[in-house]
Amino acid sequence: MTSLARLKFYATQPHACSYLPEEQATTLFLDPSQPMDVQVYAELSEMGFRRSGDHLYRPHCQRCNACIPARIPAERLQLNRQQKRILKRNADLTVTDVRPAFTEEYYGLYANYIEQRHADGDMYPPSRDQFHTFLVRDLPFSRFYEFRLDGRLLALAVTDVLPNGLSAVYTFYDPAEERRSLGRFAILWQAGEVARLGLKGLYLGYWIKNCRKMNYKTEYRPIELLVNQRWISLS
């Protein structure tokens, strides 16, 4: 175990919450001057931290605890009928593991996804600089998983490979392929990869009960939620 007691953290000033408009959010960041060590990252992921670009963070709000870290214990995942159909529907896709990089192909897919699916969010409008800063980082544990159909890129899952599991950083896909449920398929595929690698779980970020966009995270059962500093399982 790494001594987390020696790490420094900084809290932001309260700012508007991007998920619950009526709330003020505060974010706790690991001191960015400290190297992003994979073991530290893994231990902090057990405490609900996430990565965005070069930063590790977690919500640290005074009046609200709505953001609950969620992970899928991959070896115990029980697929429902819809999830089995999604896997079958996408059996014709090939998945390739590559190092993070900027390409116009990646950016075109990303920009289309943000414009079509998240025009009401804080990542709109997309830009090349935003894509690079957010996703294309030179970190040894960061991977791009390409999902292709006959060579055509349909989805990209940005994923961190940690000693305790995979952390699903961000996934974007072709909105025109709605029938495939590519976002859900990417989660199912990553959960399968966790099991194949013999790791603990797939870390999905935060689940917020009253946020409709987060509902999909509890479709996977069992799901584990970090509540009062303990991971509890919901079957």
| Pair 79, 195: CB distance under 8 Å | no
| Percent of the residues in the chain that have a pLDDT greater than 90, as a whole number | 90
Q: Which carries the bigger pLDDT value, residue 43 or residue 21?
A: 43
Q: Which carries the bigger pLDDT value, residue 120 or residue 158?
A: 158
| Pair 205, 69: CB distance under 8 Å | yes
Residue 3's pLDDT band, with cuts at 50, 70 and 90, is low
- Checking if the pLDDT of 160 tops 90, the result is yes
Beta-strand relationship, 201-207 and 165-173: parallel
Q: What is the pLDDT averaged over residues 106-127?
A: 94
Helix (H, G, I), strand (E, B) or coil at 7: coil
Q: d(Cα 10, Cα 31) in Å, to the nearest integer? A: 6
- Checking if the pLDDT of 230 tops 90, the result is yes
Q: d(Cα 26, Cα 13) in Å, to the nearest integer? A: 6
Domains of the chain by range and CATH?
Answer: 4-67 (no CATH), 70-234 (3.40.630.30)
Contacts of 209 (CB under 8 A, 6+ apart): 66, 68
Q: What is the pLDDT averaged over residues 194-210?
A: 96
Q: d(Cα 175, Cα 126) in Å, to the nearest integer? A: 15
Question: How high is the pLDDT of residue 36?
Answer: 86
Q: What is the pLDDT averaged over residues 169-180?
A: 98
Residue 212's pLDDT band, with cuts at 50, 70 and 90, is confident
**What is the DSSP-derived secondary structure letter of residue 21?**
T
pTM: 0.95
Q: Which carries the bigger pLDDT value, residue 122 or residue 201?
A: 201
Question: Residue by residue, what is the 3-state secondary structure of 143-192?
Answer: EEEEEEECCEEEEEEEEEEECCEEEEEEEEECHHHHHHCHHHHHHHHHHH
